Amino acid sequence: MPGPRFTKFDHKPRVIVTRRLPEAVETRMAELFDVTLNLDDHPMSRAELEAAVAEAEVLAPTVTDTIDAALLAAAGPQLKLIANFGVGVDHIDLAAARARGITVTNTPGVLTDDTADLVMALILAVPRRIAEGERLIREGAWSGWSPTGMLGHRITGKRLGIVGMGRIGQAVALRARAFGLAIHYHNRNRLPKAIEGPLEATWWPTLDAMLARVDIVSLNCPETPETHHIINAERLRLMQRHAFLINVARGTLIDEAALVEALEAGRIAGAGLDVFEHEPAIHPGLLGRPDVVLLPHMGSATFEARQEMGEKVITNIRVFADGHRPPDQVLEDY
């Protein structure tokens, strides 16, 4: 095992930030750290990331950076902390970081409500055809109200199946209850009664069984080797023809080609997607469809969340540089 993990720095930590962060966060970082910012916000090339890990003591990356084993092999021994700006860490090879004695932190909690709000927005937008209606007006194609115009589907009384009942899944459930949805969930472990009870939530030990019974599916689990393509062609076949699929978690949870096929074949009724398998590329089969709502990975995109995420990154770096375990350490078992 690597040696002592938390050693006090006797100098300002050398921090490299890979993307632009909110201005107040960057200003504070410049006061506290020996920091290099990415002022024009370009996504860093592989060569730039290699140069960064060769020099930084702390790397502050985001979801747009691939921090894989090969990149970490190029890191100098001075790289001690990866302080991710974001809660998802699937773009970081955690095992490789652990093997090199590099601590990894993320920014949980502060984006939960905003992300759950966006899930709710898509749960409303897809069945009620909100984006389609907006396009109709902008295209000058609306000829006025009619009894059969723009009919969608009621969500009150429908069954919502949440895949992954962590912080965000629970926040979605809380909101969905207020809209009269019945809460169903699939999670490795059943939640304690104290959480399940007030949500009147039904636990499904197997995902397949739940998919066949719910009207709306919301993916709220992290991307891991186990959850990669958790929604594939077979699982899409299990869903009901009138069901909708919502994904504000990670694009790679869905086999996007299989989703396009299922939509084309009418095997499900629509999808609301904030994340994509090959982001920022979008499967061309999704672009022309009126039954999908597409958003540009904006689950946590509020001024408040991004500011608080930045503050968490700063706290994690400061506590680490002070020689203590940072509050949002991802790997607990060093």
Residues that bind ligand DGY (CB under 6 A): 62-63, 86-88, 111, 299-300
Q: Are 164 and 217 in contact (CB under 8 A)?
A: no
Supply the minimum distance, in Å, between the C-beta of residue 86 and ligand DGY: 3
Q: Of the listed 14, 235, 250, 283, which one is catalytic?
A: 250
Residue in the block written with tokens 């962060």:
21
Q: Does 229 qualify as catalytic in the annotation? A: no
In the bound state with ligand DGY, the residue whose beta carbon lies nearer, of 14 and 312, is: 312
Q: Of the listed 153, 190, 229, 297, which one is catalytic?
A: 297
Q: Using CB atoms within 10 A of its CB, is residue 136 exposed (0-12), middle (13-18) or buried (19+)?
A: middle
Supply the minimum distance, in Å, between the C-beta of residue 99 and ligand DGY: 23
The amino acid sitting at 301 is A
In the bound state with ligand DGY, the residue whose beta carbon lies nearer, of 176 and 330, is: 330
Which residue's C-beta sits nearest to ligand DGY? Answer: 86
Q: Of the listed 279, 289, 311, 325, which one is catalytic?
A: 279
Distance (Å, whole) CA 177 – CA 164 = 17
Q: Does 297 qualify as catalytic in the annotation? A: yes
Supply the minimum distance, in Å, between the C-beta of residue 167 and ligand DGY: 11
Task: List beta partners, residue 163.
Answer: 186, 219
Distance (Å, whole) CA 109 – CA 177 = 21
Spell out the residues 6+ positions from residue 188 whose beta carbon is closer than 8 angstroms to its own.
none
**What backbone phi and psi angles, to 5 degrees, belong to 133?**
-65, -40
In the bound state with ligand DGY, the residue whose beta carbon lies nearer, of 67 and 210, is: 67
In the bound state with ligand DGY, the residue whose beta carbon lies nearer, of 13 and 88, is: 88
Residue in the block written with tokens 């109200």:
145
Supply the minimum distance, in Å, between the C-beta of residue 253 and ligand DGY: 12
Which DSSP symbol is given to 163? Answer: E
Q: Could you list the active site residues?
A: 250, 279, 297
